[in-house]
A = this chain, B = another copy of it.
Amino acid sequence: MVMTSKASSSSGVRRPCATEDSLAVAGGIIAIGSELLLDGYPETNSLFLAEGLATCGIRVRWKMVVGDSLPEITEALRAAVRYAEVIVVTGGLGSTIDDCTREAVARVTGCPLRKRPHLVEVLAARYGLPSRPLTAAVFRQAQVPQGARVLENPAGSAPGFVMTWKGRLLIVLPGVPREARMMFEERVAPLLRARYKNTEVLERHAFHTFGLPELDIQECLHDVIAQSPDIRFAFLPSPLGVSVLLTRWSADHEIRGHRGRSSGSAAQKAKNEDGPMERVVRAVRSRLGDAIYAEGSRTMEEVVGLELVSRSLTLAVAESCTGGLIGHRLTDVPGSSRYVDRVLVTYSNRAKCELLGVSDQLLKQYGAVSAQVAEAMAKGIRERSRSDVGLSVTGIAGPGGGSSKKPVGLVFVGVDGIRGCVIREFRFSGDRQTVKLRASQGALDHLRRYLLS
C-alpha cells in the first residue's frame, strides 16, 4: 500500500501520479530468460538494478521479462526505446545457443556483431583451448555490437556492453545476479553518475516494525504523511511485520556525494541531518517508538545479536513449533557463535522433559502449548545450559493439532534472564510456514524488548 499526502486526505480524487512529479531520468529494465517466464524463477536482478539506478538519478518506470527468443527480445527493445532514456538489459549473454541478446541488439540497432580480439584472449585464458563444442561456444561471448563499449565482467565470463541508440543509453549486462550486480556497481554506476550529474537522485529510509497492524501505523503517521508532500510512504506488510519505506527524489547533490563515497565531510553530514528527509525520519522514529525493531537493511536477528554482544550475554533457545527456525535465523549472522550457546528443538514431550526438565505433570495439566510450559522451557534451557538468557517458544503451527480452545496459530514465547521470566502470548494467522515465521519473529522481538527494557 502506497500513500502520499494526497492519498490520506480524500477519497475518490485522482492524485497526480508520483512518477510524474519527478525530474529524474526515465529508466527501463528488460530481463531476459525463458526460465523467468515459465519455470517458476522470480526475476530479481531488476530489484538491485532499480535501486542502483535510482541512486544515479534514473527512475525505473517499467520492467519487462521476455524469453530467450530473438524476435521477442527485438520487440522488447523496440518498445523500450519509446518509453525510457536509459535501458538496462540483463541476461542472454552466455555461451549457449539460446543466449541471443547480442544478436537481438545487433539486429535492432543495426550495429553488426564484431569479435573483439582482447575478449577472445580473456576468454581463452579463462577456459583454455576449446576441447568440445560446449567450450567452443564460449567464444561467442567475445562478440560485441560495432561501436559499443565493452564492460568487462569482474566475476564471470560473459562481458557486457554499453552503447547509445536513438539517443537512448543501452546497457547490456549478464543475467547471473552476482555478475550483473558487480558489473553494475563497478562499471555502470560511475558512468551514469558522470553522465547524469544534474538530475534528481533517490533518498530513502526504511523502518521495520513488528506488532502493529498496517492501518494503525498509517493512522499513527497520518499527519506526518500530510505534512510531507514530497516524500512517498510505502507500507509493506509481511510475516516479519510491517516495513515503512520513505522515498524522496531530491536534487540535493550532497546526498549523492554522501552516498557515493565512503565518508562525507562534516558539513555534508550536518546538511543531511537537517534535510527534509531526516526531519521526517526523526518524526516517524519518535511516533513508532519501540515498535521499530530495525532500520535500513538490518534484520531482527542482527539487532538481537548486537544487543547480546553489547551486554556480553550468551543465549540458549528451546524451540518447539518453530522447529529450528529461530536457531537458523540467529546463526545466519556471522559471528553468532560468540553468543549462541545452543538451540534445542524439543519437538516431542519426551524431549521437553529430558532436555529441559519440564515436568510430566505440568505437560498433563496445562498441555505443551501453554504459558506454564513456555516458562518451564525458558527457565530449563537457561539453567541447564548455564547461559545468561533463555528463550522458549511453544505453539501450534498447524495445519493439524488445533482445537477451539487452542487454535492453530496460538504461540507462547518466554524469556528467562536476570530480571526473571516474562511470557508473551500471540495468535498468528496463516499456513504452517507463515505461523512458523511469525512465531520466530515474535520470539526474537520479545527477546529484543526484554534486553532493551
Contacts and interface: CB of A to CB of B under 8 A. Distances in A.
Nearest to A235: B35
A29 to B, nearest CB: 9
Interface in A28-43: 34-35, 37-43
A429 to B, nearest CB: 12
Main secondary structure of the interface of A (DSSP, over half): mixed
Given A17-B71, A39-B236, A334 B10 contact: no
Interface in A1-58: 1-4, 6-15, 17-20, 34-35, 37-44, 46-47, 50-51, 54
Contact of A327 (B62, B345, B433): B345
A317 B397 CA distance: 20
Nearest to A351: B342
A447 interface: no
A11 B267 CA distance: 58
Nearest to A219: B134
What band does the interface of chain A fall in when counting residues whose beta carbon is under 8 Å from B?
35 or more
A348 interface: yes
Given A42-B42, A64-B63, A20 B71 contact: yes
Contacts of A351: 341-342, 385
A370 to B, nearest CB: 17
A342 B342 contact: no
A344 interface: yes
Closest 8 CB pairs of A and B: A324-B327, A323-B331, A324-B324, A343-B345, A17-B69, A11-B137, A342-B351, A324-B328
Given A1-B94, A14-B70, 5 more contacts: A2-B35, A11-B140, A42-B43, A43-B43, A324-B331
Interface of A: 1-4, 6-15, 17-20, 34-35, 37-44, 46-47, 50-51, 54, 60-72, 75-76, 79, 83, 94, 96-98, 100, 103, 133-134, 136-137, 140, 202, 215, 218, 232, 234, 236, 245, 247, 317, 319, 321-332, 334-337, 340-348, 350-351, 355, 385, 397-400, 432-433, 436
